[in-house]
């Protein structure tokens, strides 16, 4: 009797999860064959302090993340110069531990982290949004490793991102994104 009950629960759970990923209920970022043509990355002026902004510039994090992300998307055949999708990425949290703290205190010193909000625009209209994070608490963390973790989190979320078709994003494109759109 217990086995039948367990089988019933498992079957019901599997049936629900298959139904929840149905193409009729959800729409993927790439479902219509759209490709990404550009990525804009900026730091949130309210949540990223001046010192953190200097660290972003000194470590070339914005440029490195943009180049690394475009290369990863290109390797997945998701980039085209005339693509309809554009990514507007805002760095909302940034923390790099000093080398001394990493070595002396290790994981007790916290972790290096970069968090971003990603807004996907399709033909200039906000279409999807999500948060991605690159974090590492090891004493051997490098900026490149942190960017790599963040890059693959973004790529993974773009590949498997599903939202109801009637979803409306909570924010508009940043001024940096709009300036780039006017220049192209």
Residue 164: inside a domain, yes or no?
yes
Q: What is the pLDDT of residue 122?
A: 86
Residue 12: inside a domain, yes or no?
no
Residue 175: inside a domain, yes or no?
yes
β 112-122/125-136 pair status: antiparallel
**Tally of domains within the chain:** 1
Q: Alpha-carbon distance 142 to 166, whole Å? A: 40
Instruction: Kindly give, in sequence order, each residue whose CB lies less than 8 Å from that of residue 30, ignoring residues fewer than 6 positions away.
Output: 78, 158, 159
Residue 31: inside a domain, yes or no?
no
Q: What is the pLDDT of residue 102?
A: 53
Residue 9: inside a domain, yes or no?
no
Q: What is the pLDDT of residue 44?
A: 86
- Residue 40: CATH number of its domain: 3.40.50
Q: What is the pLDDT of residue 132?
A: 93
Residue with tokens 């949004």: 129
Residue 138: inside a domain, yes or no?
yes
Residue 167: inside a domain, yes or no?
yes
Q: Take residue 171 and report the two structure tokens written for it.
A: 């924010």
Where is 93: in which H helix or E strand? Answer: strand 85-95
Q: Alpha-carbon distance 178 to 28, whole Å? A: 24
Q: How many residues does the chain have?
A: 184
* Alpha-helical runs (H) found in the chain: 2-20, 50-58, 61-75, 99-105, 143-160, 175-183
Instruction: Kindly give, in sequence order, each residue whose CB lies less than 8 Å from that of residue 18, ignoring residues fewer than 6 positions away.
Output: none
Where is 23: in which H helix or E strand? Answer: none
91 is in which domain, residue-wise?
A: 36-183
Integer Rg of the chain from CA: 20
pLDDT of the chain along its 184 residues, tens only?
A: 555 555 445 444 444 433 344 343 345 567 677 889 999 999 888 878 787 788 888 888 899 999 999 999 999 888 998 888 899 999 998 877 665 555 555 555 567 788 999 998 888 888 888 899 988 766 666 788 889 999 999 998 888 766 555 666 666 777 766 676 666 6
Instruction: Kindly give, in sequence order, each residue whose CB lies less than 8 Å from that of residue 46, ignoring residues fewer than 6 positions away.
Output: none
Q: What is the pLDDT of residue 136?
A: 76
């Amino acid at each position: 009797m217990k086995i039948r009950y367990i089988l019933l629960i498992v079957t019901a759970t599997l049936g629900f999860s298959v139904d929840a990923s149905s193409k009729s209920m959800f729409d993927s970022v790439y479902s219509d064959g759209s490709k990404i043509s550009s990525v804009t990355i900026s730091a949130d002026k309210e949540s990223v302090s001046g010192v953190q902004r200097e660290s972003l510039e000194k470590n070339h994090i914005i440029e490195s993340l943009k180049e690394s992300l475009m290369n990863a998307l290109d390797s997945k055949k998701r980039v085209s110069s005339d693509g309809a999708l554009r990514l507007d990425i805002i760095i909302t949290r940034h923390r790099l531990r000093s080398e001394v703290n990493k070595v002396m205190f290790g994981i007790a010193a916290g972790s290096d982290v970069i968090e971003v909000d990603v807004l996907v625009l399709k033909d200039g209209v906000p279409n999807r949004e999500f948060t991605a994070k690159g974090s590492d608490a090891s004493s051997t963390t490098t900026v490149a490793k942190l960017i790599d973790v963040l890059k693959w989190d973004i790529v993974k979320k773009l590949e498997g991102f599903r939202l109801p078709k009637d979803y409306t994003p909570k924010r508009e494109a940043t001024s940096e994104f709009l300036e780039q759109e006017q220049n192209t």
